[in-house]
Structure 1
Amino acid sequence: MKIEIWSDVACPWCYIGKRRFETALAGFPHRDSVDVTWRSYQLDPSLPEHYDGTELEYLSRIKGMAPEQVSQMFEHVTAQAKGEGLNYRFGQVVVANSFSAHRLIHLAAQHGQQDAAKERLLSDHFEHGKDIGSQEYLTDLGLALGINADEVAELFTTDKYADDVRFDFEEARALGITGVPFFVIDRKFGLSGAQPAETFTAALNQAWQETNPLVLVSAADGEACGPDGCAV
């Protein structure tokens, strides 16, 4: 079963959704048959590589919300994150363009480290105040993931994986995805947002049953018991 997750490193609900999905997947009996792929999405492609301002200032300007409203939103999201064992620090978040970070995730996928890259980027962005647009930071992360230094350097000297990231954007548009996180199961089922773990569990079970229907091995009925009693 193939699950594709469209997500942005700069999306706080995407990290919460990742945790809730992981909780559901950990309890799924067929989890070893599930292939998870992270797809790229950008909430604001127009962001400069580095934004001179805080997350609160940025959201107030872009969404036109009063700073007090943004602060309330931060409090709500932080509480939801805490419920999943995450320690958000919005006051330390560095606002930056996530395009290069998405390219690194695609590179990491070639080394079997896609989920590890996604996890580190989300954690470093929301919990540790790292600059996900920084060449120095992304280089250090790539090396920490065990990726060859020359391959990591290519991200900043060429446009390698840029087309892959843009293809993910196009796929999202084709599927009608307008917000993240968005989970697609076998290109048949879609779940929008950081759903509760129970919702993910129900979706996994339904998708599995439809993909792997029960097949009777005999046309003849054997003895069995039912609501009205047992066969004699």
Structure 2
Amino acid sequence: MIEIEVWSDIVCPWCYIGKRRLERALAGFQGDVSVQWRSFQLDPSTPVGDPRPVSESLAAKMGASAAQVRDMFARVTSIAAEEGLAYDFDRARTANTLDAHRLLHFAKAHGRQAELKERLMHAYFTEGADVGDHATLAAQAGAAGLDEVAAKQALADGSYAADVEADIAQARAYGINGVPFFVFNQRVGVSGAQPLEVFEQALRQSSLTVLRAPAGSADASSGECTDDSCAV
């Protein structure tokens, strides 16, 4: 059994691309694999309940012009389309993702984490959903096959916050400062939304005994998001 842990954030455009590339590699792999989605917040300081257009928030965060942000979005949208993803940054809104990550741990406890992860990323990047809003999150949980009432309760009572903190602490221990980051059997690390061949190689080499050090901080052009590059 190959165990894959993936650190990513709901609002990270390269994380969704990396998810698709990993899935393509897994589709052609012969063997038992389990995937766990680990929590990582690109910007924990994002205000709660203030879903501004991502173009506005990113321009302010990076000190970039509107034209520069549009160019950045156009490039990543084009790359996402190659993976069958339809990004719509005109609809996307900023969100603090802490509660979304708590809900993903709730989903894990009920055997539906993969389904909810896909729903949340699709909702954010394609549908313009506010993934920081409890009602929206609970509805997405219901769409992923979870009990919507139980999801609302978990969101309301602060459940699974410790699990989110534990994931983030483990990321720090590994030296992860950008996402997506993939760890195979706690030994092989892949940093960023790498090409398909890299994931295929990682699957083959998952019995290596040394965890490769993650790459250094990257900008949005490298297939990885850091806290100061593309927290959208």
Is 2:126 the counterpart of 1:146? Answer: no
Bigger-Rg structure (1/2): 1
Q: SS in structure 2 opposite 1:169?
A: helix
Match of 2:84 in 1: 85
Amino acid at match of 1:182: F
RMSD (CA atoms):
1.4
> Cα deviations across residues 6-29 of structure 1 (Å, max 9, x unaligned)?
000010000000000100011011
Q: For residues 3-42 of structure 1, what are the structure 2 equivalents within 5 Å?
A: 3-30=4-31, 33-42=32-41
Sequence identity (%)? 47
Structure 1 Cα separation of the partners of residues 6 and 62 of structure 2: 25
- How far 1:91 sits from its partner (Å)? 0.6
- How far 1:42 sits from its partner (Å)? 0.4
- How far 1:51 sits from its partner (Å)? 2.6
- How far 1:168 sits from its partner (Å)? 0.6
> Which shifted more, 186-195 or 49-58?
49-58
Structure 1 Cα separation of the partners of residues 147 and 112 of structure 2: 13
Match of 1:113 in 2: 112
Amino acid at match of 2:69: V
Amino acid at match of 1:28: F
- How far 1:149 sits from its partner (Å)? 3.9
Q: For residues 117-128 of structure 1, what are the structure 2 equivalents within 5 Å?
A: 117-128=116-127
- How far 1:34 sits from its partner (Å)? 1.0
Q: SS in structure 2 opposite 1:143?
A: helix
- How far 1:53 sits from its partner (Å)? 2.6
Q: SS in structure 2 opposite 1:190?
A: strand
Unmatched 5+ residue regions in structure 2? 210-232
Match of 2:71 in 1: 72
TM-score by length of 1: 0.86
Unmatched 5+ residue regions in structure 1? 212-232
Q: How many matched pairs?
A: 208
Preserved contact between residue 138 and residue 149 of structure 2 (Cα < 8 Å): no
Deviating beyond 6 angstroms after TM superposition, the runs of 4 or more aligned structure 1 residues are none
Is 2:210 the counterpart of 1:185? Answer: no
Match of 1:199 in 2: 198
TM-score by length of 2: 0.86
- How far 1:3 sits from its partner (Å)? 0.7
- How far 1:183 sits from its partner (Å)? 0.3
- How far 1:206 sits from its partner (Å)? 1.5
